[in-house]
Structure 1
Amino acid sequence: MNKFRDIYDTLKNEINEGLYNDTMVLPTEMALIERFGTSRNTVRRAIQLLNEDGLV
């Protein structure tokens, strides 16, 4: 499985569990890069997919 999909799944689960609500923003790209130990493009791809699914 792709790394961006792992990040997507993790963030999606956290959103669904209420860790982030409508009035909150996700951590910054830099924070997510450090958290997941990956590149900016990978993080952006995961966030793009969350956006396409209407989660952010």
Structure 2
Amino acid sequence: FFSTRYERGSIIITSNREFSRWVEVFHDEQMTAALLDRVTHKAHIIPMNGESYRLKETYSK
């Protein structure tokens, strides 16, 4: 999918894992490196840190 979509359109990806831990999901270091290379090329990476909105809503009820 990513290889086909590369530089042809936008892709939005959200993850709660740092890039260094993606190999735990894909189980192949070379393929994960290739995927991250394509995904991060010309990307806007927006790190989101802070308290969980959903968790905050749970406590307010």
TM-score by length of 1: 0.41
| Structure having greater relative contact order (Cα 8 Å, sep ≥ 6) | 1
TM-score by length of 2: 0.39
